[in-house]
Amino acid sequence: MIDVVLMKDRLISLIFSNRLTALLFLIYPTVMAFGTFIETWYSTDTAKIWIYNAKWFELIMVLMAINFIGNIFKYRLIRKEKWAVLALHLSFLLILFGAFVTRYFGFEGVMPIREGVTENNFLSEKTYLTIFVDGEINGEPRRKKLEGDLLLSEHVNNEFSWQNNFNGQDFSIRYLDFMENATEGLVLDETGERYLKVVEASDGNRHDHYIKEGEIVNIHNILFTLNKRQDGAINIKLENGLYTIDSPFSGQFMRMADQFKGSLKANQEDPLQFRSLYTLPNFQFVIPEPALRGNFDIVKADSQGQSAQNALRLEVSSGGETEIISLLGGKGIANDPKQISVGGLDFYMKFGSLQIELPFAIKLNDFIAEKYPGTENSYSSFMSKITVEDEEIFDYDIYMNHVLDHKGYRFFQASFNPDEKGTILSVNHDWWGTYLTYAGYMLLYLSMIGIFFLGKTRFKDLSR
pLDDT per position as a tens digit, 310-320: 999 999 999 99
**What percent of the chain is predicted at pLDDT more than 90?**
60
The C-alpha angle with vertex 344 and arms to 338 and 347, in degrees rounded to 5, equals 20
Residues 358-389 as b/e (b if ≥16 CB within 10 A, e otherwise) read beeebbbeebeeeeeeeeeeeeeebbbbbebe
Q: Which of 233-237, 352-356, 446-450 has the lowest mean pLDDT?
A: 446-450
pLDDT reported for residue 9: 47
**Nearest partner of 417 among 110, 109, 108, judged by Cα:** 110
**Nearest partner of 257 among 236, 278, 277, judged by Cα:** 277
pLDDT reported for residue 306: 47
Average pLDDT of every residue of the chain: 88
pLDDT 10s digits, 353-409? 999 999 999 999 999 988 888 777 778 888 999 999 999 999 999 998 899 999 999
Mean pLDDT of 246-264: 92
Model confidence at 284: pLDDT above 60: yes
Mean pLDDT of 414-433: 90
Model confidence at 207: pLDDT above 90: no
Mean pLDDT of 421-427: 93
Residue type, 317: S
pLDDT reported for residue 3: 55
pLDDT reported for residue 5: 47
Model confidence at 14: pLDDT above 60: no
pLDDT 10s digits, 109-160? 999 999 999 999 999 999 999 999 998 888 888 999 999 999 999 999 999 9
